[in-house]
């Protein structure tokens, strides 16, 4: 009997151990949601410097490595959830392999394929995220489609024989899923160069000063910011016109009352005084009575009756 109890206990322990292991295996890698300001690591597909092809491990899994280290922070590039800001990320030294990768990216022979976690990663996965050269063994046919969100970095520029011209000013657009659907979740992301500043000349050994202007959207729709050639009358335009008209009217009124009106009054007074002086020396005013006779006030000849 004691032997049977011991066997039953061993079976129960084995059952609960297997059950706990199965539950642990089914625990999702992704946490609940991002909080505003929480850092989001950026990793990019590891590519061969010889051909630009993506690198795989022995099992055929894609290899992702963290974004190059930013000189400003000493860490790979990070975005902040829901925070719009300009991020400077200077890659301190462009070595020969990375220079060849830049040639592939700029010439569009291979895209700079990056990704960001759709939701916060657990600490263990986040640690692996920052380890250089780690491989995602869970990467497979859509295995990470809900864990990571692609972010293609369209880096543009021109190739020269001895150097590159790279457009280092970039826009980063990140869409969050609506709060009513999946709060604290990233839905889509992209980055692309813009011609805001002249391209930066890069040779091997130089630094690459990247400037990311990050903008967030609370859903997957883009707001309309273009009214067409010629534009349309909007509320802001109407307010601007009213303010401009009021300011112009105030300036004109102040000029008229402060400068023009006193000048005109002064000129009018001088004209009246001059007219009176001319009337006393050259002629007179006629005062006519009801019978057709008048008296003239002359220039010193007295008062006389005239027809």
d(CA 102, CA 108): 10
pLDDT tens digits, residue range 150-167?
999 999 999 888 899 999
Pick the more confident residue, 15 or 101: 101
pLDDT of 97 = 92
Quick one: 160 and 90 in the same domain?
A: yes
pLDDT of 293 = 47
Quick one: 206 and 250 in the same domain?
A: no
Confidence label for 14 from pLDDT (cuts 50, 70 and 90): low
Contact assessment for residue 306 and residue 294, using Cβ atoms and an 8 Å cutoff: yes
Is the residue at 290 inside a domain? Answer: no
Quick one: 101 and 187 in the same domain?
A: yes
Quick one: 108 and 206 in the same domain?
A: yes
Q: Which residue segment(s) compose the domain that 245 sits in? A: 233-273
pLDDT of 283 = 47
Pick the more confident residue, 223 or 132: 223
Is the residue at 224 inside a domain? Answer: no
Q: What count of other Cβ atoms lies within 10 Å of the Cβ of residue 24?
A: 8
Quick one: 71 and 111 in the same domain?
A: yes
| Total of domains in the chain | 2
pLDDT of 122 = 81
Pick the more confident residue, 21 or 57: 57
Percent of the chain predicted with pLDDT > 70? 68
Quick one: 208 and 266 in the same domain?
A: no
Is the residue at 33 inside a domain? Answer: yes
State the average pLDDT for the chain. Answer: 78
pLDDT tens digits, residue range 129-144?
555 444 454 444 334 4
Residue 40 has pLDDT above 60, yes or no: yes
Quick one: 42 and 181 in the same domain?
A: yes
Quick one: 114 and 167 in the same domain?
A: yes
Is the residue at 207 inside a domain? Answer: yes
Q: What is the DSSP string of 40-79?
A: EE-EEE-B-TTT-PBPB-TTS-B-EEEPPBPTTTSSB-EE
Pick the more confident residue, 195 or 4: 195
Q: Which range is least confidently modeled, 5-14, 93-102, 147-156, 162-171? A: 5-14
Quick one: 52 and 164 in the same domain?
A: yes
Residue 212 has pLDDT above 60, yes or no: yes
Q: What is the dihedral of CA 24, 27, 30, 34, to 10 degrees?
A: -100
Quick one: 146 and 240 in the same domain?
A: no
pLDDT of 15 = 60
Pick the more confident residue, 231 or 49: 49
């Amino acid at each position: 009997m004691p032997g049977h109890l011991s066997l039953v206990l061993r079976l129960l322990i084995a059952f609960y151990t297997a059950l706990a292991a199965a539950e642990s295996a089914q625990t999702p890698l992704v946490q609940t949601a991002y909080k505003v300001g929480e850092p989001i690591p950026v990793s990019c597909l590891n590519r061969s410097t010889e051909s630009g092809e993506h690198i795989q491990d022995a099992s055929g899994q894609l290899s992702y490595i963290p974004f190059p280290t930013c000189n400003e922070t000493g860490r790979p590039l990070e975005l902040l959830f829901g925070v719009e800001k300009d991020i400077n990320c200077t890659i301190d030294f462009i070595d020969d392999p990375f220079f060849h990768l830049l040639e592939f990216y700029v010439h569009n022979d291979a895209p700079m394929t990056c990704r960001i976690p759709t939701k916060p990663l657990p600490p263990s996965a986040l640690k692996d995220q920052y380890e250089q050269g780690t491989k995602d063994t869970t990467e497979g046919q859509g295995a990470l489609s809900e864990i990571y969100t692609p972010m293609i970095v369209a880096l543009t520029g021109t190739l020269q024989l001895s150097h590159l011209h790279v457009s280092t000013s970039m826009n980063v657009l990140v869409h969050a899923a609506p709060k009513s659907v999946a709060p604290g979740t990233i839905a889509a992301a992209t980055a692309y160069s813009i011609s805001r500043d002249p391209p930066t000349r890069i040779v091997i050994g130089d630094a690459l000063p990247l400037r990311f202007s990050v903008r967030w959207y609370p859903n997957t729709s883009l707001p309309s910011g273009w009214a067409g050639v010629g534009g349309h009358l909007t509320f802001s335009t109407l307010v601007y016109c009213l303010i401009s008209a009021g300011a112009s009217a105030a300036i004109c009124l102040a000029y008229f009352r402060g400068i023009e009106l006193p000048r005109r009054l002064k000129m009018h007074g001088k004209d009246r005084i001059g007219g009176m002086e001319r009337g006393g020396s050259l002629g007179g005013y006629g005062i006519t009575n009801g019978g057709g006779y008048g008296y003239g006030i002359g220039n010193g000849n007295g008062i006389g009756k005239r027809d």
